[in-house]
Amino acid sequence: MRVSIVLPAKNEASGLRQFMPALKAMMPEAEIIVVNDGSTDDTAGQASALGATVLSNPYSMGNGASIKRGARAASGEIIVFMDADGQHRAEDLPKLLAKFEQGFDMVVGARVKGGQASIGRGLANAFYNRLASWMTGHNVLDLTSGFRAVRADKFREFLHLLPNVFSYPTTSTMAFFRSGYPVAYVPI
């Protein structure tokens, strides 16, 4: 299966310099798309120099808008979404991609204990995970993780539902569950 990797990026020139070499080494055949969201630094130049296809928003449109733009442009059957700041590890990609062989349509990198940015965020996410589990009838391990892989055709069905801001992971997870598309979680 052809894989496209979409990295929404705003002022991430430094992060891309550190992150992209490992990503390219791990996935040399993957299409890498960096969506430059109105950066004021050299994000677009760095991404291009590192071999990514660069799509530049004319102004900051939001993380979700960048995800949607990247998903529309991706040519792969599988789209992987990762943050351009390096918080997600390229070494975890094979674990996510291996789950597709078991028939899943979305695979989410679930942060293990201590993987949240702060204690407060961890508690809030635990509450949201419980609420989403109750609403869907499925065990939602990480509703807000931005590190996920999806079947492109299934994900594109929901582009019109996704907000232009940061809650695209929540919306896409709920949409997949509610539509009967199988979702799996892999600890990262």
pLDDT tens-digit profile, the chain (188 residues): 899 999 999 999 999 999 999 999 999 999 999 999 999 999 999 999 999 999 999 999 999 999 999 999 999 999 999 999 888 999 999 999 999 999 999 999 998 865 545 676 667 767 666 666 666 677 766 778 889 999 999 999 999 999 998 789 988 988 998 999 999 989 88
Strand order across the beta sheet in which 183-187 lies: 53-57, 31-37, 3-9, 78-81, 148-151, 106-110, 183-187
CA–CA distance, 78 with 159 (Å, rounded to integer): 15
SS3 of residue 128 by DSSP: helix
The helix, strand and coil proportions of the chain, stated in percent and rounded to the nearest 5, come to: 45, 20, 35
SS3 of residue 7 by DSSP: strand
**Residue 18 near residue 76 (C-beta atoms within 8 A):** no
The amino acid at 94: P
SS3 of residue 33 by DSSP: strand
Residue closest to 81 by CA, chosen among 162, 135, 181: 162
Number of C-beta neighbours around residue 110 at 10 A: 19
As given in the structure block, the two tokens for residue 148 are 């996920």
SS3 of residue 36 by DSSP: strand
- φ/ψ bin of 137: left (φ > 0), alpha (ψ from -120 to 50), beta (otherwise): left
Go through the chain and tell me how many residues it has: 188
CA–CA distance, 173 with 145 (Å, rounded to integer): 10
pTM, 2 dp:
0.89
Helix (H) or strand (E) holding 80: strand 78-81
